[in-house]
Amino acid sequence: MVGTPVLFIAIPLLAAFLIPLLGMIWKELVRIVPGLVLIYLLILAVNLLDHVMVHGPIIEIIAGWAPPIGINLVFSAFSGFLVTIMIFLGLLIWLYSYRFKKNVGYEPAKKYFLLLMMLITGSVGIVLTGDIFNMFVFIEITGISAYGLTAFYTGRDSAEASFKYLMLGSIASTFLLLAIMIIYSQLGTLNMADIANRIHTMNPTYKIISLIFFITALGIEAEIFPLNGWAPDAYSEAPGPVGAAFAGIVVKASVYAIIRYIFTIFDVDGAFNFLIIIGMLTLIIAEMAAIRQEKLKRMLAYSSIGQMGLVLVAFGFGTEEGVYAALFLMLNHAIIKSLLFFSGSYLVYNSKDKLIAEMNGLGKKLPITSFLFALGAFAIIGLPPFAGFWSKLSVLTAAADKNMIFIMSLILFVSLIELVYYLRVVNRLYNSKEKASSIEVKKPTANALITMLVLGGLILLIGFYPDVVTGVLHKASAALMDKSQYIHNVLSINQ
Amino acid sequence: MKKILIILLLAGLGFYIATTYTGIGFGEPHFKHGVKDTYLKQTVQSLHVANTVTAIVVNFRGFDTLGEVTVLFLAVTALGSILYKKRHEVGVRSVLFSSSSIVTAGSKLLFPAIILLGAYVFIHGHLTPGGGFQGGVIIATGFLLMLLAYRNYSVSHIILSIVESIAGITFAGIGLLGLIYGETFLQNFLPVGVLNNVFSGGIIPIIYIAVGFKVAAELTGVIYTILHEKGESNG
Amino acid sequence: MELFINILGAIVTFLVAFIVGMTYGGLNRKITARVQNRKGPPFYQNFIDAFKLSSKETAIHHGIMHYLGPAFLMVSSVMTLLIVPVFTNNGWFPNLNFKGDLIFLIYIMTFGPLGMALGSGQTGNPNAAIGVTRGLSQMVGFEIPWVMALIALMIQYHTTSIEGLMEAQAQTGTWFMFSSPFAFIAAILAMFGMFRYSPFDIVSAPTELASGPASENGGKYLFVMMSSGSVFTFAKLTLYVDLFLGGAANLPVLLLKTFALYLIPILYGMTTPRYRTEQAIRWFWGWPSFFGLLAIIQAVIL
Amino acid sequence: MATLYLIFIIFLGGAILTYYAGKLGSVLQDIIFLATILGATSLFYAGVHINDFMSFNPGGITLTWGINYFGWLFSLIVLGLGSLAAVYSVGYMKGKKRRGYFYFNFILSIMAMLGILVSQDLISFFIFWEIMTWSSYLMVIYNGKDDQKLGLKYFIFSAIGAYAMLMAIVMVHSVTNTFLIGNMIEAYPQMSLSWQIWIPILFLTAFGVKAAMMPLHVWAPGAYSSSPMAYTSVFSGALSKMGIYGMVIILVTMISHLPQGIWFRETLAWLGGLTAALGTLWAIKQDDAKKLLAYSSIAQLGYIITGVAIGTELGLLAGLFLAVMHALFKGTLFMVVGAIEKQTGTTNFTEVTGLIRKMPWTFFSALLAIIALAGIPPLGGFVGKWMLYEALITSNHYLLVILIFFASTAAFLYCYKFLFGFFMGQEEKEWEHVKEAPATMVVPMVLMALFMAVLGSWPGIILNPINNGLVDLGFVSTYKHLWDTSILFNSWGNQVVLKPLLYSVVAIFVFFAIVLIWKGFKGTRYVSTKDISSSGEVPGENENLTFSLGFAQPFLRAVGPVMKRQIDRYYTEFADGLESFFEFLRRIYTGNGQTYAIYVFVFVVIVLLFKDVLF
Amino acid sequence: MDNALFDLLDYAVYGTAILVMLIGIYGALAKKSLLKIVIGLSVSDSGLNMLIVAIGYLKGGTAPIFSPGYLDGTNKLMVDPVPQALVLTAIVIGFGVTAVALALVIRLYRHHGTLNIDEIKNLKW
């Protein structure tokens, strides 16, 4: 063992407090340190995940008080898997945004990397924590970092996007607190396992009301329709890598939270169907909105929302297969959507007014970037032999096993819409009828290229050889499904 | 129309919230196996801390507090990022009036007292109501007063940031020390002392003092940053 | 030896067909002239023309396809002749009767016109191409009732070979003309188009301009074309006789029956002015096809 | 059996190598490209045993690869045509840009098609199917001037098909728990009736799209005509056959067990017939050779679909034989167009005329291919047509046979138009310099043309593998019963003996050819095609009187009502309607943060109100 | 004092808290000025915090502080300290959010020259 799960939180926090000091010593450290931290965390995560695969979940207690009393972190196959993805992605995002734009000065860079690191930490915290109030705190950490990052560019609209995000975010925290307090006032505990253990003693009406509040609050973060008004704006106005971070990290954490509540904490069966309903709604509406977008990033944003809807649907099946599918989707979405955001930012960067219509012929000017974008587009549509195919297949298989033919056909119909708008962009990239533009081509930096190539390679790797991930996914989904084991694991820890 | 809709919505929401909470009953115990009893017992028994709330905030749920401090830290960072301007764009102070001498003199007089009060509050956080947050806020009020009173009063950003950082490092560092000397993060590894002594409660006062500094510095920073925002230029 | 006799028989058949076809052509000209109150050429005029054309020297050509066009045409006519049994219940001149069937026949009949079309296409004469497209269009028109009639026969008697149909006809003892009247009508109406006499002489449009495949051909080319046309006429008439009129056991009967059939399109044409192409097509898809449909219905019911 | 792995590795590696070899030199690139395709092809025929299967388990899914006789039959089309087209491509691509891109996708599509044939499980089938789709899509947008979004249309329709297939696959999986095709076939009779109906429909949709079946054909004209011709020969010749391949499997293994199967067959057969008829009519209307051939491909696929759909042995034989023939003649014709495009720069009939003397070999191949296409004896096309008619007549499809007949007769019009438009007509100064295409392009065309001629009299060469394939699918052998090396039978016992017919045709033709060329070329003088008398006028040097506009106008006027509206329009209108609905829908996102906040509360209150229903 | 009044008072605490919260939300939803929206959010936070503290209350309980004098009189009822601790966190977080919100308002005002939320919708659809 290289360390314990708490280091996922402690180390970045320590680093975050250190960064301003380090920055006074050498300015470049501000950019380097977060990367080092993330590299360390990645090593830690991979090691722990490896350990967890064999030896079962690690329950870390904090401040020396056993679970119902103190706060605990749970690094199970499920949460560990998500944490690993998040940190990996975080590292790539860091690498990509290292010198993302040359003209960014010291102060903004410091803040950018700080906020980015804390965004990742917050999300990791959401996934790891075993305490509902602690989760609230991490959600807020993530939230504030996200507001700051959204408004990072001092252009006109980013503040608007950020404000919308903030407004909905604070409504979300209101609901979250309300829900937490309902639970607390009924059961007198904040520990997830403890709550799960005793939830059946709770008055069902209150239980459902608190569940609704939870879903609403977390749904805002997880971009569920109709709570996702902030999302397209925030995605499109935030810097490109941050968009990737939202799609790949923040939303995943929120979805995790919803899933944790529904699968582990509450024992409300109707919640699964509800997940399917809102998931489908989200998926359909988002994809329909995406097809009419004129700006690439906004399109990607809607597409992300849709994907999350699909993830929720997959979770909503409530079967292990469904969970497997959902996790696979999350993994793929993290990889592919990041690639799309990464390459897309350079495409946007090089087109007038950020319009898709202005992207004619970029395939020639930015060959690698465009190629990778096309690869990502193909993958996210679910074309074999790329990564996206396997997840789409598993979602459909899960649906078919639940005999939900209608849901299946809807998913496929929506995939068709998705295909249309992605291919429109790809078609444009490789359309040689370019408009004479005087804008000089801004080539991606070397580190950005490396990042994109890594992601592209991963897409191909998973596509050709899904076995690299399926083992972990199966373990992870089994871990989520086994609720009593979770409760037992957490509550049996005694100092 | 829209307002009616909103009112209806809120009425509906209020109805559900109200039924939920009134069902709980005010001032009555609603649950049997809650954690609060353990907290009340353990505060005195193993931590030797008088203020249970402090014990919960700093020790039992110290992790929350670490997150909370981070939130503040992030708020300051985000604020700085959002309001960041390149140097040549920096505007003048937006307080357009000079305060009267009564205010300036009074502020100067009060300032040390306020700081002292703040310090007292966070140093005694584990004994009396109050603590790092409260004390920090009080100190920040002092700076707010000074900023309002003196047009050219300036606080060094660098110092603020150093204070912030060191305080934060202290908190997180103590947590990690707990991991090293004890078994878990944020575990108390110092002797707990005697109940109701200033030097009691192990790491709790240290952390709370650090929090106090941090909150003071951060709140001051927030106020300072917002005040320095360029105002309407037609004054 | 047998092969030799077969080849000899084929050549004899060809010669007979050539002579009979030429004569019918001449008679056609004569009859037409009489109806139009002209004297008209003698009935052997065609032979004279043929002799004249064949003895002409060829001096120019327009390229290889131009050369070969008439040869294609000849293949089509001769093959049709070889496939169609000339005499019923007669060991003579079996030719290739057993080697092909009606579907083959239908297709081999289109071989020539297409080849010829290519030949004339190479001349570069626009009128040739215009004629060709008209001809092909018209073909699409008349093939429909024609095929319908044939299919009606095929499905009624469960055979696609001409021999088989003739046997069936002989067994029932009734000419198909009477037992399958609709098929007969459809086939006869289709024949109007097949023979390309007025009002379906759209291809060559002889009265206004020199169009159609023949427009750049002279001398030997025209001779081969002419003889091919004569042979083709005879072959087709024989086919009709075989299928609908009970066949013919010997030459006089054959001549009688074929000539009687030959008169039908000629006489119809004399009374009718030429159609436009699309009118012709629509005509064929009208009543003739309707009769073809009736024929099929009849065949299915029986 | 590891040979199969090796083949796919060769393909993949070759594709990547070829892509990057362009930086080193174009000759090297050509060599690697040819080596890949030819090497893999020869390896396939040398080292892969039929009916030898192997399994492996990626991602916990059992996949099986191996080839049976039926697949082997199609592999002939894919690899045979693929190799020839590859040779042709080398000439075609000389001096063009983005050769690496072209070669890469070329190799990938060949690989994907082969992959489809060796897949014995639905997942690898689907994977290869999709690889085939996107690699061909990339070819469609190769020219980069996709103004009408033809590539997009192609992809969308392919995706509709692919998703339908995916749905069926998943449905099958939920019953059988495996993805093996064999298990699917076994489990099929036990499924519930609605699934028994839906699964074939979904599969047939997928295959129908690739086989350009009406009404799913609308992508085809654009896609066929806008991809580079060297590829289109494969695209139309081989790739569309994958649809037929799948269709036959579904029809034989599933629908024949279904009591309601007759409706499937009839519908499909009629759709095939309509496809043939409408495809032909639209082909006649085209002025561009690529478009003409594209519509003609649709029509030809219609015949094939009809043949396989009626499901009798003769029908299947006919359909599959036509499939092989179509690969041959349409491959050749697209190559011809490619050659002309390369030499003259255009493929429009109204621009290019009189190439016969400049490109004689091209003309020769085109002539034979057209004769085969038209189904005129004695070339191979006739065999297929004959079998199709006989199959239709003997299985009581009387109206359908007339429809088919109409289509194939009308096809003469465009056949003639094709030959006339390019090769006949007056020779223009503009095209004086045009030379015959390079040998690498001519040789494949001529080879295929000759093969077609051979097939016309010895169809047994192809009928034998078809027979083997059908036996593999569970039919009794039709050898000596429906066909012999050069004799065809129908089920009523009638026959066509091809060899003597061929000999007589050749004999007569040669005889009269000699009569006509008696004095030889020396005796006669070639005159310019300008030296003609047209309505009494002799055209000048710069006048071009070639009749090329409004070709077959009277015929089109006659069938006018049928062609008033393209099916395309319905799709376009539907899509437009959908998009405006989406446009309306996305106004939910008003841009006002407050509204979004209100949505949140609306959501909460609604869910609270209906909480008893929802939870 | 009769019991009914007590009961009413009991509810009044919750009621007030909820009412404050709803008023805050109303402000956030219905007011056009960005500042008022931020204030509204802030107010609703306060209401919520009141509610949370109210939940922790126990009748007759004292503050959960074991001050020197307290330990002697044993077994006195104490109110639930947990909600208080939570509220502390919630307040601080609320502060952070409000600070960021104000900063954003400043930015928006800087760019748009208005605080009317209806006019700040460059991003839509």
Confidence of residue C95 (pLDDT cuts 50, 70, 90): low
**C5–chain D nearest CA distance, Å:** 14
| Euclidean distance between CA atoms D274 and D280, whole angstroms | 10
Across the interface, of D509, D517, D521, the residue whose CB is closest to C75 is D509
CB contact under 8 A, B40 and E68: no
CB contact under 8 A, B30 and A105: no
Residue B23 at interface with chain E, using a CB cutoff of 8 Å: no
Tokens of D280: 């032909």
Give the architecture-level CATH label for domain E3-119.
Orthogonal Bundle (1.10)
**A130–chain B nearest CA distance, Å:** 12
Across the interface, of B52, B83, B215, the residue whose CB is closest to E106 is B83
Q: Which chains touch D (3 or more CB pairs under 8 A)?
A: A, B, C, E
Confidence of residue E1 (pLDDT cuts 50, 70, 90): very low
Nearest alpha carbon to residue A162 among D593, D510, D254: D593
For residue B235, what pLDDT is reported? Answer: 28
Confidence of residue A435 (pLDDT cuts 50, 70, 90): low
Average confidence (pLDDT) over A292-304: 87
Nearest alpha carbon to residue D324 among D436, D143, D487, D463: D463
Average confidence (pLDDT) over B104-132: 87
User: Closest-CA residue in chain E for B4?
Assistant: E30
Query: Judged by CB atoms within 8 Å, which residues 450-489 of A form the interface with D?
Result: 465-467, 470, 474
For residue B55, what pLDDT is reported? Answer: 84
Q: Which chains touch E (3 or more CB pairs under 8 A)?
A: A, B, D
Residue D538 at interface with chain C, using a CB cutoff of 8 Å: no
**B101–chain E nearest CA distance, Å:** 30
Q: If you average pLDDT over every residue of chain A, what do you get?
A: 86
pLDDT exceeds 80 at position C201:
no
CB contact under 8 A, E82 and A162: no
CB contact under 8 A, E102 and B226: yes
CB contact under 8 A, D587 and E122: no
Across the interface, of A20, A148, A187, the residue whose CB is closest to B82 is A148
Locate the domains of chain C by residue range. 2-301
Across the interface, of B5, B10, B16, the residue whose CB is closest to D608 is B16
CB contact under 8 A, D492 and C99: no
| Euclidean distance between CA atoms A125 and D179, whole angstroms | 40
Confidence of residue B221 (pLDDT cuts 50, 70, 90): confident
Question: Do residues B148 and B160 touch, judged by C-beta distance below 8 A?
Answer: no
pLDDT exceeds 60 at position C209:
no
CB contact under 8 A, B12 and D605: yes
CB-CB neighbors (< 8 A) of D586 in chain E: 125
CB contact under 8 A, A416 and D159: yes
For residue E124, what pLDDT is reported? Answer: 77
Residue B77 at interface with chain E, using a CB cutoff of 8 Å: no
**Whole-model pTM?**
0.89
DSSP single-letter state for residue B43: I
User: Closest-CA residue in chain D for A166?
Assistant: D593
Residue B196 at interface with chain E, using a CB cutoff of 8 Å: yes
Across the interface, of B10, B222, B229, the residue whose CB is closest to E22 is B10
Does E contact A via 3+ CB–CB distances below 8 Å?
yes
For residue E43, what pLDDT is reported? Answer: 92
pLDDT exceeds 50 at position B231:
no
For residue E39, what pLDDT is reported? Answer: 92
pLDDT exceeds 70 at position E73:
no
> Which residue, chain included where needed, has tokens 């036990």?
D190
Query: Judged by CB atoms within 8 Å, which residues 2-21 of B form the interface with D?
Result: 2, 5-6, 9-10, 12-13, 16
Residue of A267 and C64 predicted with greater confidence: A267
Average confidence (pLDDT) over E13-22: 87
Q: Which strand (E) or helix (H) includes residue D224?
A: helix D220-226
Reported as a single tens digit per residue, the pLDDT across D87-144 is 888 888 887 777 888 888 888 888 888 888 888 888 888 888 888 888 888 888 887 6
Reported as a single tens digit per residue, the pLDDT across D349-386 is 878 887 888 888 888 888 888 888 888 888 888 888 88
For residue B234, what pLDDT is reported? Answer: 33
Across the interface, of A208, A393, A400, the residue whose CB is closest to D611 is A208
Does C contact A via 3+ CB–CB distances below 8 Å?
no
CB contact under 8 A, E19 and B14: yes
Tokens of C284: 């064929």
Reported as a single tens digit per residue, the pLDDT across A364-406 is 788 888 889 988 998 888 888 888 888 888 888 888 888 888 8
Q: How many B-E residue pairs are in contact by the CB < 8 A criterion?
A: 140
Residue D588 at interface with chain B, using a CB cutoff of 8 Å: no
For residue A42, what pLDDT is reported? Answer: 92
Q: Kind of pairing, strands A72-75 and C60-61?
A: unpaired
What sign does the CA torsion over D591, D597, D599, D603 have?
A: positive
Q: Which chains touch C (3 or more CB pairs under 8 A)?
A: D
Question: What are E's interface residues with D at a Cβ cutoff of 8 A?
Answer: 25, 28-30, 37, 117-118, 120-125
Q: If you average pLDDT over every residue of chain D, what do you get?
A: 84
Cis bond upstream, residue D561 (ω within 30): no
CB contact under 8 A, D166 and A465: no
Residue A43 at interface with chain E, using a CB cutoff of 8 Å: no
CB contact under 8 A, E123 and A237: yes
pLDDT exceeds 80 at position A274:
yes
For residue B233, what pLDDT is reported? Answer: 37
Does B contact A via 3+ CB–CB distances below 8 Å?
yes
Confidence of residue C1 (pLDDT cuts 50, 70, 90): low
Average confidence (pLDDT) over B175-192: 82
Reported as a single tens digit per residue, the pLDDT across C111-160 is 877 877 777 777 777 777 777 888 888 888 888 888 888 888 888 888 88
Which segments in chain D show pLDDT lower than 70?
A: 1, 59, 144-148, 518-523, 533-538, 541
What share of chain D has pLDDT > 90, as a percent?
Answer: 0
Q: Which chains touch A (3 or more CB pairs under 8 A)?
A: B, D, E
Complex-level ipTM: 0.86
Nearest alpha carbon to residue D77 among D239, D212, D204, D302: D239
Q: SS3 string of chain A?
A: CCCCCCHHHHHHHHHHHHHHHHHHHCCCHHHHHHHHHHHHHHHHHHHHHHHHHHHCCEEEECCCCCCCCCCEEEECHHHHHHHHHHHHHHHHHHHHHCCCCCCCCHHHHHHHHHHHHHHHHHHHHHHHECEHHHHHHHHHHHHHHHHHHHCCCCCHHHHHHHHHHHHHHHHHHHHHHHHHHHHHHHHCCCEHHHHHHHHHHCCHHHHHHHHHHHHHHHHHHCCCCCCCCHHHHHHHHCCHHHHHHHHHHHHHHHHHHHHHHHHHHCCCCHHHHHHHHHHHHHHHHHHHHHHCCCEHHHHHHHHHHHHHHHHHHHHHCCCHHHHHHHHHHHHHHHHHHHHHHHHHHHHHHCCHHHEHHHCCCHHHHCHHHHHHHHHHHHHHHCCCCCHHHHHHHHHHHHHHHCCCHHHHHHHHHHHHHHHHHHHHHHHHHCCCCCCCCCCCCCCCCHHHHHHHHHHHHHHHHHHHCCHHHHHHHHHHHHHHHCHHHHHHHHHCCCC
| Euclidean distance between CA atoms B170 and B166, whole angstroms | 6
Residue B96 at interface with chain D, using a CB cutoff of 8 Å: no
**D586–chain A nearest CA distance, Å:** 5
CB contact under 8 A, B86 and A105: yes
CB contact under 8 A, D592 and E121: yes
pLDDT exceeds 60 at position A459:
yes
3-class secondary-structure state, position C88 = coil
Across the interface, of E30, E37, E124, the residue whose CB is closest to D589 is E124
CB contact under 8 A, E19 and B82: no
For residue A39, what pLDDT is reported? Answer: 92
Locate the domains of chain E by residue range. 3-119
Tokens of B178: 């707990």
Name B113's Cβ contacts closer than 8 Å, sequence gap at least 6.
Answer: none
CB-CB neighbors (< 8 A) of A162 in chain E: 104
Question: What are E's interface residues with A at a Cβ cutoff of 8 A?
Answer: 21, 25, 28, 34, 37, 41, 44-45, 48, 51-52, 55, 82-83, 86, 89-90, 93-94, 96-97, 100-101, 104-105, 107-108, 111-112, 120-123, 125
For residue B232, what pLDDT is reported? Answer: 39
pLDDT exceeds 50 at position A476:
yes
CB contact under 8 A, E68 and B196: yes
For residue D521, what pLDDT is reported? Answer: 57
Which of E42, E91, E100 should be substituted to probe chain A, the one whose Cβ sees the most A Cβ atoms within 10 Å? E100
Residue B186 at interface with chain E, using a CB cutoff of 8 Å: no
